[in-house]
Amino acid sequence: MRVPAEVFPAGEFIRDALEDRGWTQRDLAEIINRPIQVVNEIINGKKSITPETARELAAALGTSPELWLNLETAYRLKFGGSRSADIGKRATIYSLVPVAEMLKRQWIRKAASADELEKELLEFFAVNNLEDIPKTRQVAARAYIAEAGQLTPAQYTWCRQAIRLASGVPVAHYRRSAIAEGLPQLRVLMANPEEARKAPRVLAEMGVRFLLLQPLAGSRIDGAALWLPDGSPLVAVSTRFDRIDSFWFTLCHELAHIEAEDQQGALDTDLIGAKPGDLAESEKHADDRASEMLIPQKELASFIDRKRPYFYKDYIIQFASRIGVHPGIVVGQLQYRGEIDYNANREMLVKIRHIVAQEALTDGWGDTVAGF
């Protein structure tokens, strides 16, 4: 029997052994009491040699069981590794981006191989190599798209999907004065939750694209202010906290970023409950500007001075009615200022996502790019 200088299937050596003895495959099948088909599949490499088969071959051919197991293992490792290589590549890809969630959300198509999956991701991220996708780093409470390497894979992927969908939102030409000029129209919508459905339309007239995009698991995204290649702005809101105060504060916060042209794109996490002392200057400015957009801060300060520490429900409703906003927005601002506990007046913090989604381009919550 030849000593292998190369790696051959174990069946080659069995065939040699049978020729040396003048046996047929049927002879071997009868000797080891196996069906002829099984012997044929082993010799042709279609069936692997198990420890039990190795013992039977060793007894029949006068060798050790280890010989057949070693030949089988060496061959399978060298020539049966294509699937292992595919698995290894998939593992690498899954470490770069949240593939499972992208598939679930139908942002990419299911791929039969790692190479096909790579093509899907290259197209999604509009890059030439997987290495061009930003690597994972620790993200601060505030992160900028311009510093995309600081974002987590889930955060960067979420922002990328927002940019991909932006073309589906027709808007007017954006002017730097558009936000200040359009703000009175937005404030009219803040008094009644049902009116929030008109917000995407008003924003479009201002030249600002708006998306309602469900966050990916673990991303902790509230919203993002992004700039498209043509220089037009885009606001994406996650409604991670489905409350009227959170929606309007996040929207105004992102509009403040656009108005100030901060870093040409800002991603915001943990907006609700952030402490002013922990914020970068641009974020503090966006928070202050958003608060002013919602409620004139002199008016709010006067209300607080007059009513502290007893912010009864009737007081809040009366004040909200006078300044033309929903009481939940007042509650949110009082919570933000630390005047009342975050568990107070929760009944006023009505849900609003389903209302905004009526006229917004929406991706998530069981819908796939609804609104087209």
pLDDT, residue 252, reads: 96
pLDDT tens digit sequence for 162-220:
999 998 999 999 999 999 999 999 999 999 999 999 999 999 999 999 999 999 998 88
Q: Is 62 strand, coil or helix?
A: coil
SS3 268: strand
Residues 6+ apart with CB under 8 A from 193: 244, 326, 350, 352, 355
Other CB atoms within 10 Å distance of the CB of residue 222: 26
The β-bridge partners of 144 are 266
Angle at 361 between CA 123 and CA 327, to 5 degrees: 135
Tell me how many degrees the CA angle 261-295-225 measures, rounded to the nearest 5.
Answer: 25
Assigned token pair, 16:
């040699």
Instruction: Tell me the residue length of the chain.
Output: 372
pLDDT for res 371 = 39
- Strand pairing partners for 367? 364
pLDDT in tens for each of the 372 residues of the chain? 444 446 678 889 999 999 999 999 999 999 999 999 999 999 988 888 999 999 999 999 999 999 999 888 888 777 655 566 778 889 989 989 999 999 999 999 999 899 999 999 999 999 999 888 875 443 333 344 444 447 889 999 999 999 999 989 999 999 999 999 999 999 999 999 999 999 999 999 999 999 999 999 988 899 999 999 888 999 999 999 999 999 999 999 999 999 998 765 566 666 655 554 555 788 889 999 999 999 999 999 999 999 999 999 999 999 999 999 999 999 999 998 999 998 899 999 999 999 999 999 999 987 655 433
225, 257, 214: which is closest to 353 by C-alpha? 214
The pLDDT value recorded for residue 78 is 72
Q: What is the pLDDT of residue 145?
A: 46
Q: Quick one: pLDDT at residue 150?
A: 72
pLDDT at 3: 44
Q: What is the pLDDT of residue 86?
A: 79
| Cis amide leading into 309 (omega within 30) | yes
pLDDT value of residue 40: 93
Which pair of structure tokens corresponds to residue 363?
């991706």
DSSP letter for each residue of 80-128: S-HHHHHHHHHHHHHHHS-HHHHHHTTSS---SSHHHHHHHHHHHHT-S
pLDDT tens readout for residues 114-158? 999 999 999 999 999 988 887 544 333 334 444 444 788 999 999
| All structural domains of the chain | 10-79 (1.10.260.40), 83-132 (no CATH), 142-294+351-370 (no CATH)
Q: Closest by alpha carbon to 256, among 240, 229, 275, 279?
A: 279
